[in-house]
Chains A and B, each alone.
Chain A
Amino acid sequence: MSSSTLLFCVCAFFALAGAVGTVSARRPLRAAMALLAHIVALAGLYLTLHAQLLAAIQLLVYAGAIVVLFVFVIMLIGPASETSGSGRAGMVRMTSLVLMGMVTVTIAFAIVDTDPAAPRLPAGYGDVEGVGGALYTQGLVPFEIISITLLVAIIGAVAVARGKTAVEKQIEAKEKARAEVEARLGEGAAPAPAE
């Protein structure tokens, strides 16, 4: 067994275990940790596929930013982030049928497609120069669109997370009205409270 096959087996095991853990964990924080294990295992899989730059970026963006964001929100929500049981038997039966079909077709393809020889790689495949060169020449337009996507996403996220909901506006309006009444009852003896 070559070192590449060994790495594939270890990483595939941890990727599957992480995925199952993410989906089945009762506590979202445990799910986030399982997702982290899954992501690190996928970075190892990318190494077996000679995608070194992508493995590094996977760790930087997913493990460094996305999981952190999830953990932040779980902390923000606190104990309410746990919801009680789940059970959608009909849905499970239907999707598992479809997915069984998908898995069967893919594994059948894997057995039929007996062409094990991976092609020889050109120089610079998957490293910073290779992928970077392609990114800034072929991938020029998507690259610029990514920045616009991020801009829109951040504006949306800031607006949604900071904006006040209707209930909160009502509470605020009530408190304001009460403060006004109290100020009027005080007969203007004291100056209006500074905001």
Chain B
Amino acid sequence: MILGLGEYLSLATILFGIGAIGFLVRRNVLIQLMSIELMLNAVNVVLVAVNRFHPDNHAGQLFAFFVIAVAAAEVATGLAIVIALFRLKKSVDTDQAASLKH
């Protein structure tokens, strides 16, 4: 077995799928945020893998670099919102956050 681009792309698709299902099915905000991280990571695998098979420049790795930095910012903001939701509803269940106004 020789590793090609296809193996990496298949793995990344499955990982993305697991993340997407987790985001849609779970009702715990914390686990939904973790599922978003899974999806971002799957996209990073695609970026780095395609860059490996077209290695003229580092565009894919740079993109993955920036995705990681943006993910950190996203988690910081998202978790702050989770804390605010918890203080408001005393719960982290997304079904509790169904109204636009409290």
Contact = CB atoms under 8 A, between A and B. Distances in A.
- Chain A directly contacts chain B within the complex, with at least one CB pair under 8 Å: yes
Interface of A: 1, 4-5, 8, 12, 15-16, 19-20, 22-23, 25, 28, 31-32, 35, 38-39, 42, 45-46, 48-51, 53-54, 57-58, 61-62, 65-66, 69-70, 72-74, 76-77, 80-83, 86, 88, 91-92, 95-96, 99, 102-103, 106-107, 109-111, 113-116, 118-119, 121-122, 125-126, 130-131, 134-135, 138-139, 142, 146, 149-150, 152-154, 156-158, 160-161, 163, 165-168
Contacts of B1: 1, 5
Interface of B: 1-11, 13-22, 24-28, 30-31, 33-35, 37-38, 41, 44-45, 48-49, 51-59, 61-62, 64-66, 68-77, 79-84, 86-88, 90-93, 102
Contacts of A62: 37, 41, 68, 71
A156 B80 contact: yes
Contacts of B51: 49, 51
**B interface, over-half SS:** helix
Given A122-B55, A135-B62, 18 more contacts: A4-B3, A15-B11, A19-B19, A22-B38, A25-B31, A31-B34, A45-B11, A51-B48, A73-B79, A81-B92, A88-B25, A109-B9, A119-B55, A138-B57, A138-B58, A146-B66, A153-B77, A167-B102
B48 A95 contact: no
A139 B62 contact: yes
Given A86-B27, A95-B21, A161-B83, A16 B15 contact: yes
Contact of B83 (A38, A73, A111, A146): A73
A130 B58 contact: yes
Nearest to A4: B3
Contact of A95 (B20, B27, B75): B20
A161 B84 CA distance: 6
A45 B48 CA distance: 10
Nearest to B26: A86
A19 B19 CA distance: 7
User: Max chain B CB contacts within 10 Å: which of A38, A82, A114, A154?
Assistant: A38
Contact of B77 (A65, A103, A111, A160): A160
